[in-house]
Amino acid sequence: MSEKAGLFERLENGIVLGAEGYVFELERRGYIKAGPFVPEVVLDEPGAVLELHREFLRAGAEVMVALTYYGDRHKLATIGREGDLEALNRAALRLAKQAAGEEALVAGNISNTWVYDHQRHAETVPLVRQMYSEQVRWAVEEGADFIIAETLGYLAEGQIALEVIQESGKPAMITFGSVETPLRDGFSQVQACRMLSDMGAMVVGLNCSRGPETMLPMLAEIRQKVNGFVAAQPVPYRTTPEMPAFQTLRLGDGPRGFPIALEPHLLTRFEMADFAQQAAEMGVNYIGICCGGAPHHVRAMAEALGCTPPASRYSADLSLHPMIGAKVQEKDQQFLKNWKD
């Protein structure tokens, strides 16, 4: 059996399709508590995590991302489960690896910590480094192919994450959130991506917060300024220049939809397919989806990129719909004829 291609080889040969949104999708399914959004499900209902991995894989995702987002020391302490820290991280990697099999890549995952503070830099850096170091170490020990650090709000947090990942010897993908521009320590996302790419991150880019309409303009500038591989994983929500991030979405004068009343703003599979095509034409190398993403979005994006994943067997054929299908009458007439004969 030949060894599976690594991240660099895949990126060199074409676009890599990612899929995230595990936290939001599992919350919708009743396995994660909205608010803390800590992935207790990894230990409490591992079958649900494994099933979602398999659905994303079947829809065309090439990377199984371990569900360790918000699985860090600080977040687990907020719900009184800091004693489960190592067990949760190792279990998440094993579930991702089980789903990945011999074809898909396995990514370890670290995220924004809510601990780093640029005004208390010297005080908070050691804690952030410890949090990242232990999560990355467990991911490497459990066989991760590369590490994703995502939804980062500070350049400095990205630099700490990159240094820790580089010390582990694994490739790094670093993506920044974009609720605010610039980042909280004053650097633009474009500047941060270019700096981390120059520091050796294999992939840099954006994830979460912004939908396609408000992420694409930022991506265009990043793609222009960064020589290396670029990633884009937007949320599947209808963000606008007036409401650029899904945290700001509202319906009229009503309350904001974030985080659990976002359904009126959800994009269709076709709109996410359009995003995948536009990102590909722009030269983005790693294309995916973040919070709110579901397997039907991923399948449509895969198909838009020219792939035929296993789930494409059941892609829509509305010509056979009994109310609107053009082929239905013809087939019904043939059925009746055969029955009479």
Identity of residue 5? A
Q: Which residue has the higher pLDDT, 326 or 340?
A: 326
Q: Which residue has the higher pLDDT, 319 or 207?
A: 207
d(CA 118, CA 156): 8
Q: What is the pLDDT of residue 325?
A: 84
**Any idea which residue has 């996302």 for tokens?**
189
Q: What is the pLDDT of residues 330-339, one digit of tens each?
A: 666 666 667 7
Q: What is the pLDDT of residue 333?
A: 66
Strand order in the sheet with 146-152: 16-17, 286-287, 229-233, 203-207, 172-176, 146-152, 105-111, 63-65
Q: How confident is the model at residue 135 (pLDDT cuts 50, 70, 90)?
A: very high
The b/e string for 139-166 (b: 16+ C-beta within 10 A; e otherwise) is bbebebbbbbbbbbbbbbbbbbbbebbb
Q: What is the pLDDT of residue 336?
A: 60
Q: Are 177 and 207 in contact (CB under 8 A)?
A: yes
Averaged confidence pLDDT in the chain:
95
- The helix (run of H) or strand (run of E) holding residue 173 is strand 172-176
Identity of residue 172? A
CB atoms closer than 10 angstroms to residue 250:
15
Percent of the chain at pLDDT > 70 equals 96
d(CA 22, CA 254): 28
Give 243's DSSP letter.
Answer: S
Mean pLDDT (whole number) for 252-274: 94
Percent of the chain at pLDDT > 90 equals 89
pTM of the complete model beyond 0.75: yes
Phi, psi of 109 (to 5 degrees): -145, 130
- The helix (run of H) or strand (run of E) holding residue 203 is strand 203-207
**Any idea which residue has 């974009």 for tokens?**
178
User: DSSP letter string over 150-170?
Assistant: EEE--HHHHHHHHHHHHHHT-
Residue 38 predicted with pLDDT over 90: yes
Q: What is the pLDDT of residue 129?
A: 98
Q: Are 257 and 249 in contact (CB under 8 A)?
A: yes
Q: What is the pLDDT of residues 97-111, one digit of tens each?
A: 999 999 999 999 999
In 3D, which of 136, 138, 168 has the Cα closest to residue 149?
136
Helix (H) and strand (E) counts in the chain: 13, 8
Give 16's DSSP letter.
Answer: E
Q: What is the pLDDT of residue 197?
A: 98
Q: What is the pLDDT of residue 1?
A: 45
How crowded is the C-beta side of 24, counted as CA atoms within 13 Å?
23
Q: Are 71 and 92 in contact (CB under 8 A)?
A: yes
The b/e string for 195-219 (b: 16+ C-beta within 10 A; e otherwise) is bbbeeebbbbbbbbbbbbbbbbebb
State how beta strands 16-17 and 105-111 pair: unpaired
Q: Are 148 and 105 in contact (CB under 8 A)?
A: no
Q: What is the pLDDT of residue 3?
A: 82
Residue 296 predicted with pLDDT over 80: yes
Cis check for the bond before 182: say yes or no (omega within 30 of 0): yes
The CATH architecture annotation of domain 7-308 reads: Alpha-Beta Barrel (3.20)
Q: What is the pLDDT of residues 149-168, one digit of tens each?
A: 999 999 999 999 999 999 99
Mean pLDDT (whole number) for 223-243: 97
SS3 annotation, 103-130? CCEEEEEEECCCCCCHHHHHHHHHHHHH
